[in-house]
A = this chain, B = another copy of it.
């Protein structure tokens, strides 16, 4: 017997009788002609921050990479398996997306782990520890800001990590060249799970601000 958890089967049936029924033409045409999304999103795995929900995006619209903490490691051509770099390369070189948005969010468990240097590894492999060590220098600085509350430190590092990932995007030659030619734009955004607000990065200052809603 094929088997899926019940909540997924129920959800899938809703999809078939709802969204798919309404958009079957679009799905068929996307299958026939291939995808051509304008935008790549680098987002977190968090169950509360799905990019398609936040951007009300339909099929074919967003090419979405999701990892813990929405991190982009720096360019490092070697013989390792780089899942993030592979997705980036595919989006930029093959799909020729016009925008890359790094979207972080509040109350991120990965960022929390990065700030808690005293936590035991989750497993002997300590994969989360190593992954989040990408932002270790910033995490250490922020951790020592003891005048800030725990939440303030967390938000600060969440936003720092977005700027860090955008800076790393520019270490990829294909990204920096296309951005220089005006054919690729890089953006940052931070989602507040509680209020639903999206704070968008100001490209000049690096600050996060709420866009006009009208």
Q: Which residues of A contact B (CB under 8 A)?
A: 1-5, 7-16, 18-20, 24, 27-28, 30-32, 34-35, 37-40, 45-48, 50, 52-57, 59-68, 71, 73, 75, 77, 79-91, 93-95, 98-99, 101, 106-107, 109-110, 113, 122-128, 130-134, 137-138, 141-142, 144-152, 156, 159-160, 163, 172-174, 185, 187, 189, 192-196, 198-211, 213
Residue in B4, B20, B141, B151 whose CB lies within 8 Å of A144 = B141
Q: A82-B130, A205-B151, A213-B16 are in contact. Are A27 and B141 (CB under 8 A)?
A: no
In whole Å, how far is A177's beta carbon from the nearest beta carbon of chain B? 10
**B59 and A19 within 8 A (CB):** no
**A83 and B83 within 8 A (CB):** yes
Interfacial chain B residues near A172, Cβ < 8 Å: 123, 125
Residue in B64, B130, B159 whose CB lies within 8 Å of A81 = B130
Cα distance A163–B148 when bound, in Å?
10
Interfacial chain B residues near A24, Cβ < 8 Å: 196
Seed contacts A66-B66, A150-B205; 9 additional CB < 8 Å A-B pairs: A2-B201, A15-B53, A27-B194, A52-B52, A52-B53, A67-B67, A73-B81, A83-B131, A147-B160
Q: A4-B187, A5-B99 are in contact. Are A128 and B89 (CB under 8 A)?
A: yes
Interfacial chain B residues near A32, Cβ < 8 Å: 194
Cα distance A174–B57 when bound, in Å?
35
In whole Å, how far is A100's beta carbon from the nearest beta carbon of chain B? 10
**B85 and A7 within 8 A (CB):** no
Interfacial chain B residues near A159, Cβ < 8 Å: 148, 152
